[in-house]
Structure 1
């Protein structure tokens, strides 16, 4: 697929029109999102080397995200009470990818005292026409999508356990703002990633709050329950998270980057190979090394200014004593810990199949010695 062909297929005006045609709706509300969408589509055309299948899937994905923006604005207009929903976020679990954050998130979310974004609803957050309150149509589509994903990337489940109906990262909601770490994880788009480092993500987080409002509005059983959310993406906007959600704490999961960075590079390689037949693993590693060096440096600045908004968890503690660690975190968040629910989740977790994937830092253009030097500032903090 040539650059010119990809650019035509991902023309922003064409995508906007396609979503309007798909929904019969026209009001996108504030069009701030057009800038990130334009940066992303330019990078996809110039850098991503999309296959024919990759281009088709990507165009569908972008149109679907735009269609959801249109539907959200329509639903808010029809039901103004949605915007009156009070969203209370107790925690955003951050940390580098591959630091135990997924296990911690699913443990904390198992408590009946809190709520979290679920995988099926991050994929299909808005009611289908005529749908019953149990959302069975959306759940079925999510199951089908999950099965298709595993067919395309059969080894991915060995790297990261997927639960179509379990807690999932709220960054998937942010994908609809086109300011998301998902995009440079799924595609080779370094220009987009560099741009995102400098972009003010405040409008995206205002949108995220609106998505949480609409999910809460659809589920009365969430009334009064604080949200426990999670994504490494939030490391790119720590100040913005804390400003958007007063009272929210950052639960920072810690693991040596010499382990975490090659592990994430392995995951990115598995994902991006679905969309391109030309993925260079030795470029992927240095790219994410640089991204995470920047993210951790910026996190350190925010932490120093707002130390009361952070909770620390080590990978070793999460792995060696998951229930005890989760109980401690809940206490630091001022929330009750239901040990029975935590232990029940761990039983389910042990029953799930966990494969293994083998890789080295050198597979991704890195060395352990180089990573130790690059992240020495962070390793020093971990040791203190």
Structure 2
């Protein structure tokens, strides 16, 4: 925003201090003048025209006093205003540095708590969150580019092979191209879903998490049976408010993740819903490999996986838990990932109850 040049805050404060000091001096001199006029001294009474004598004696003193107060107010006000505004100057410099793209610096204003230090601390917290968000977005862009480049590179290789080797099995090439293209489409749709959830561009309506959990388990039951995974569901009616499509996608992703990252042929997935005082809870727990807490904390970042990538038709695109986190945050909920001591993962989604929402 373009603004016309004006006086600095420091100069305004200086003039305010000096003006207040001069005004106080004027009031003090006026009080003295009234006192001398209404309570004349004996020595002045004996002098002819004693009022005129009072003026002659009082006026030079008053002028000198006011001049001193004005100079003292300007100099003292300038120094005092500079000292008081020094924290604001540091905050302004940090803000200008941040506008040029540097988010690693912090103000770290010393001293006891006051308004300026609270502002500086809040600014430091904002810088830390921005730095983490920018770093996450950079990793996301790099990983998304890599994930999208991989199927394109494979498709190009297969097409080059079909063009240079006419005797190659075309059915096999078409089958591999279909699989690669399907994965690219799944990745693109996941990215679009992630963007939609981030923008919160959805209509809120009453939703029952228990019904979504039942639908997700029934849909993914064939995949679980194929892998020898047992699914156990339990819980109560869990009403909340949100997008039924997005919350169903959240539940599907959680159950799918629990099935894929599990112990083959003998694993178990537990799906449970419940109601708390001001929230409803969806919990998906699965057996599997043991995970360190620091590894579990990174699983909600895009394209992060707790184990090595497995090349199957149900491996996913690396955005499952990232989408779960985004949908949860878009519904003002909280997502908690806790490694199980026996192996596997426990994921809890807590959403506001209808009254709280």
TM-score range, shorter chain: under 0.3
Compute the TM-score of the two structures, normalised by the length of structure 1: 0.23
Question: Which of the pair has the greater relative contact order for Cα pairs under 8 Å at 6+ separation?
Answer: 1
Q: Name which one, 1 or 2, has greater alpha-carbon Rg.
A: 2
Normalized per residue, the structure richer in strand is 2
Compute the TM-score of the two structures, normalised by the length of structure 2: 0.24
Normalized per residue, the structure richer in helix is 1
